[in-house]
Amino acid sequence: MNKFLIGIITIGLSIFLFYGFQWWNAAGAVEKVSEEEIGTWQETSEKVDDMTVMDGSDRKPAEEEKTYTEDVSAYQKGEEMGRLIIPFLNKGYKTYWGADEDSLKRGVGMYVSEWTTTPDEKGHTVLSGHRETVFTNLGDINEGDSLYYEYEQKRYEYKVDKTWVTDAGDRSVIVDKDEPTLTLTTCYPFNFVGDAPERYIIQASLVDVSDMADS
């Protein structure tokens, strides 16, 4: 076997091991969530909804309640700070502060910008993840599906409003929102090899907030 062929094999093996480690590292941030656990949350949400109807209160978050943190360094970059749950996929995803490449190598990253907020601030929360590692089945989610986000002992429930595909350079996705909104983004097409030219977007509206201690 000549040196050239050995070199090609060595380079190929190195690339395989590099990307294999990245996949393994990010895949470790994904866990299976049982239907029983999700069912408990939904029952709690329905009970609260029934109580709301009885006392006539309106639990829709008011626009004036939206706030923005002055300290965008509430967490260290790459620090674990919450969990996304997608019931339709029976999966939970650890999320990390920041959507930089290092954070995305670990799992799902939360955008930190002047236009985005954490869920408790009732603004626009944006989460991003690589399609090859964490968001492999994101295209299976439909309008009306539930998404949950656990943050600071609160569980935020969102309903998917719409999904769409846009150009990677589209600047109209990560913007300020008047209503509490959760947006998920990943690269598209899902089976594209290399740097994908488009982005797959899921947008959902907040419908409920509950204490995690109650479920």
Domain boundaries along the sequence of the chain: 3-214
92 Cβ contact partners less than 8 Å away, ≥ 6 residues apart: 30, 31, 32, 33, 83, 84, 85, 86
Tokens at residue 85, please? 């749950």
Q: Which residues pair with 124 in a beta bridge?
A: 181
Per the CB < 8 A criterion, the answer to whether 121 and 67 are in contact is yes
Tokens at residue 130, please? 């690589």
Q: Return d(Cα 27, Cα 5) in angstroms, integer.
A: 32
- Reading the chain (215 residues) residue by residue, the pLDDT tens digits are 566 555 565 554 444 434 444 444 445 679 988 888 777 766 655 654 544 444 444 444 444 455 554 455 679 999 999 999 999 999 999 999 999 999 999 999 999 999 999 999 999 999 999 998 999 999 999 999 999 999 999 999 999 999 999 999 999 999 999 999 999 999 999 999 888 999 999 999 999 999 998 76
Which residues are part of the catalytic machinery? Answer: 130, 187
Fold (CATH) for 3-214: Sortase; Chain: A; (2.40.260)
Which residue, among 117, 120, 138, has the nearest Cα to 185 in the 3D structure?
A: 138
Q: Give the pairing of strands 91-97 and 80-86.
A: antiparallel
Sole residue written with tokens 């209503």 = 179
Record the pTM.
0.77
Per the CB < 8 A criterion, the answer to whether 212 and 150 are in contact is yes
